[in-house]
Amino acid sequence: MTIKSILPASLLLLGAGTLLAQDDPPTDYAKFEGSAEYVKFALNNLWILISAALVFLMHLGFASLESGLCQSKNTVNILFKNCFIIAMGVLTYYLVGFNTHYPAEWQMDGFLGLGGPAGAEAGSADFTSEYNPGYTYWSDFIFQAMFAATAATIVSGAVAERVKLGSFLIFATLLVAFAYPIAGSWHWGTGFLSRLGDGDAAFYDFAGSTVVHAFGGFAALACVLILGPRAGKYTKEGLKPILPSNLPLATIGAFLLFLGWFGFNGGSVLSADAQGVSTVFVTTALAACAGALASIATAWIVLKKPDLSMALNGFLAGLVGITAGADAISPSMSLVAGGVAGVLVVFSIMFFDKIKVDDPVGAISVHGVCGIWGTLAVAFLSDAATLSSQLIGIVSVCAFAFVFSFALFFILKLIMGVRVDADEESEGLDVAEHGAPAYNK
């Protein structure tokens, strides 16, 4: 099939704004490729793959944001962790996570399943996902693999500048391979959260305010409580700010994340439906901008100065705040979802500093606190879910993430330690862990 033959049909489908989902899964790819339905199928897969690439770009955003908000002596360590996370995340999700995330059989009904689709072969009769026959297993795999790696990246920022590299790499591997797919299966793999009540009573988390972001935020909180604050952050005289090393780099990172979020949320439509994707793009952008302006205003009033780092986190807070309901919350109400998140992130960061929970990049506040708000916002600002179902989902996922992470990180602390010694922390992890600084003086 040539581009000339596809283009007119593509424009017609996109202009009509109808749902591009397959009614029945194709069983013979060779025959299906020449059918009229193949145009829909190709467009769906193309959009999901483009979205996966955008979510991949978010990992560069996380690396840049984290590097910019931390001290320059730890830059190599931060970049190394982010390189490892994406490499490990894709491979472990292929080997273990995908099977658990979308289980073929439930060993514990609705809670733990295994034997999913990762064994499917390209071109085989079962090349489509039974969860949605409008795209292939492999389009689904690569899109979801990028999500899985995100959970560990959230933790990376919170434990930056004092965590042992080896301990973190083990923790991140097990989090992505086992914990995240189990929690994800509860909602997206037809687990118990997707079965709550009937219809509108089910838990609703469109693209992962809770399943991805709050999960990562509460995993990060567990690790930070065990790890403790950076040396010199909290003194007898009070809070001693540890200044960011490169705010321009952090700004680039935040905008890369903003860009990638269009794939994160837009790809979660799981089809090239013009109406659905365009609506999600609009609510995503509006919430992000509302979050940024709300955080700027709040920080300016409370801190008596315009704070760039709060503005950057305001963008991200708004994005997390709309992720659960990007397709269900109206554009006007998305301003509320993002704006509330922008206010929350400022007070949350200040609160954690007050109780001496050191989070160098504000990951717990952005992803954990605003992830909870985003999930509740679906019940408050739309008719897509009930408050009770949202609370059940939040408590289940966040409690599991916290308990799993606390137990695993505590075991690692007992076996091999999780924190570098004082001299290494003072010298910087670039030299102490990697033997080379990021910048030659």
* C-alpha to C-alpha distance for 64 and 59, rounded to whole angstroms: 9
Query: Is residue 257 situated within a structural domain?
Result: yes
Number of Cβ within a 10 Å radius of residue 58: 25
Q: Check residues 43 and 279 and name the one with the higher pLDDT.
A: 279
Query: Is residue 432 situated within a structural domain?
Result: no
Query: Is residue 207 situated within a structural domain?
Result: yes
Is a pLDDT exceeding 80 seen at residue 157?
A: yes
Categorize the per-residue pLDDT at 123 as very low, low, confident or very high, splitting at 50, 70 and 90: very low
Is a pLDDT exceeding 70 seen at residue 229?
A: yes
* C-alpha to C-alpha distance for 356 and 402, rounded to whole angstroms: 18
Number of domains composing the chain: 1
Question: At 274, which CATH number?
Answer: 1.10.3430.10
Query: Is residue 160 situated within a structural domain?
Result: yes
* C-alpha to C-alpha distance for 168 and 155, rounded to whole angstroms: 9
Domain that holds residue 194: 38-228+246-426
What is the residue-averaged pLDDT of the chain?
88
Query: Is residue 234 situated within a structural domain?
Result: no
Residue 360, pLDDT score: 96
Query: Is residue 13 situated within a structural domain?
Result: no
Query: Is residue 10 situated within a structural domain?
Result: no
* C-alpha to C-alpha distance for 421 and 164, rounded to whole angstroms: 9
Instruction: Kindly report the length of the chain.
Output: 441
Query: Is residue 30 situated within a structural domain?
Result: no
Categorize the per-residue pLDDT at 230 as very low, low, confident or very high, splitting at 50, 70 and 90: very high
Is a pLDDT exceeding 90 seen at residue 83?
A: yes
Q: At what angle do helices 37-69 and 247-266 cross, to 10 degrees?
A: 160
* C-alpha to C-alpha distance for 281 and 402, rounded to whole angstroms: 31
Q: At what angle do helices 274-303 and 331-354 cross, to 10 degrees?
A: 40
Instruction: Give the model confidence (pLDDT) of 364-401 as tens digits.
Output: 999 999 999 999 999 999 999 999 999 999 999 999 99
Is a pLDDT exceeding 60 seen at residue 25?
A: no
